[in-house]
Amino acid sequence: MPVARERNNQTGAGARRSLTAEDWVDAALTAIGEGGLAAVAVEPIAKRLGATKGSFYWHFANREALIEGALARWESQNTERVIAAVDATRTDSTAEQRLRQLFKEVPAATSGDPVEVALLANARHPQVAPVLHRVTERRLAYVSDVFTDLGFPPAEARRRGLMVYTVHLGQISLIHGAPQVLPASKRDRKHYMDTLVYTLTRRD
């Protein structure tokens, strides 16, 4: 039974506009968030948009190009999110507080973004790796700046920043791969976090 499917459009139930590449990218990002890279499947997405596979191939050369577009969009959005997060902590009094803040906020934002989680799960994917690399570089530069603000000389600030970011990545791996090894109680977690910040910010 050929029922007319509801479909993305600007005018409600009225005239339906054509799909754009943007529409497909939107749908792809949604799919990544829900089921990872593997969920970027042309046929199911087409069904969701109320179109056919043939329509997709008018906008994109292939599935790879769709993933490319989705990653590019995520990266630019992610940049703005990082900047916003930075602005949010800028008024904190001490650099150590900002560091502590980063340890709390960034994983929260990170775990909260299902797309980031999915991309981290596919960090070695040839299309994902360079995106992750640029995002990493940007975040790392910011963390290093915090150590500069703490009075560390540039080279040492970079090393410390790298350590912090390394720990951050490790935390994400643990949270998503083996959360059971992390401190169980809130009290233990606070103790652990204190040890972490203390250890990483300590001077000679």
Partner DNA sequence: ACCTGAACACCGTTCAAGT
Give the footprint of its own copies on this chain (CB under 8 A): 36, 117, 120-125, 129, 132-133, 136-137, 140, 156, 159-160, 162-163, 165-174, 176-178, 180-183, 191-192, 195-196, 199-200, 202
Closest separation in Å from C-beta 126 to its own copies:
11
Contact 146, 159 (CB under 8 A): no
CA R_g for the chain: 21
Of 55 and 148, the one with the shorter C-beta distance to its own copies is: 148
Per CB under 7 A, 41 contacts DNA? yes
Tell me if 22 contacts DNA by CB under 7 A: no
Give me 192's structure tokens: 């652990």
Give how far Cα 159 sits from Cα of 19, 37, 109, 188, 200, Å.
48, 33, 24, 27, 10
C-alpha span between 107 and 37 (Å, rounded)? 21
Q: Does 59 bind DNA (CB under 7 A)?
A: yes
By CB under 7 A, name the binding residues for DNA: 18-20, 40-44, 50-59, 61-64
